[in-house]
Amino acid sequence: MDAPHLLTAMISTGTVAIAEIGDKTQLLALLLAARFRKPWPIVAGILVATLLNHALAAWLGARGAACAAWNPPRWKPPKSSAENYSNPSSMAS
């Protein structure tokens, strides 16, 4: 990975980390780490729980999408003004 991509990844990771400072998981991690004085098992447990939570959400989303018969609406480009004026019957009186 070259330097610009690494810098971009670091900036985005740092931005998300700063935005999530007040997250309940981080507050719980700080509380448990302060109480038990062993932060690494706590961080590892939170990491595993987060990965399992995201995996379960992705699996349920994929299963739900497979079960739903949803066809997204198709976009039709609007008629150009030249086409509207070439057909007099399409013009309002």
Q: Is position 48 within any domain?
A: yes
Number of domains into which the chain is organized = 1
Does residue 83 sit within a domain? no
Q: What is the pLDDT of residue 20?
A: 78
Q: What is the pLDDT of residues 68-87, one digit of tens each?
A: 777 767 777 777 665 555 55
Looking at the domain assignment, is residue 43 inside a domain?
Answer: yes
Q: Which domain holds residue 35?
A: 20-57
Residue range 5-55, pLDDT digits in tens:
888 889 998 888 888 777 777 788 888 888 888 888 888 888 898 899 999
30 domain residue, yes or no: yes
Question: Counting beta carbons within 10 angstroms of the beta carbon of residue 93, is it exposed (0 to 12), middle (13 to 18) or buried (19 or more)?
Answer: exposed
Instruction: With respect to residue 45, please indicate whether it lies within any of the assigned structural domains.
Output: yes
pTM (2 d.p.): 0.46
pLDDT at 46: 83
Whether 64 maps to a domain, the answer reads: no
**Burial readout 36-61 (b: 16 or more C-beta within 10 A, e: otherwise):** eeeeeebeeeeeeeeeeeeeeeeeee
